[in-house]
Amino acid sequence: MYNPQLNTFIRVAEAGSFNKAAEESYITPTAVIKQINLLEGSLGG
């Protein structure tokens, strides 16, 4: 099953920063942070 939040998390881990992951994904850093927050919420974090 595809999980866009998990994909964003992996991109952040590989890129080393939210800003670089956002740039590589052609989205804003705010969108990256929202995706990470959604992932944390779904995992109970």
Q: What is the pLDDT of residues 5-34, one digit of tens each?
A: 999 999 999 999 999 999 999 999 999 999
In this prediction, residue 38 carries a pLDDT of 96
pTM of the predicted structure, to 2 decimals: 0.86
**Cβ-based burial of 39 (10 A; exposed 0-12, middle 13-18, buried ≥19):** middle
In this prediction, residue 1 carries a pLDDT of 83
Q: Whole-angstrom Cα distance, residue 6 to residue 16?
A: 15
In this prediction, residue 14 carries a pLDDT of 98
In this prediction, residue 20 carries a pLDDT of 98
Cα torsion 7, 36, 32, 4: sign: positive
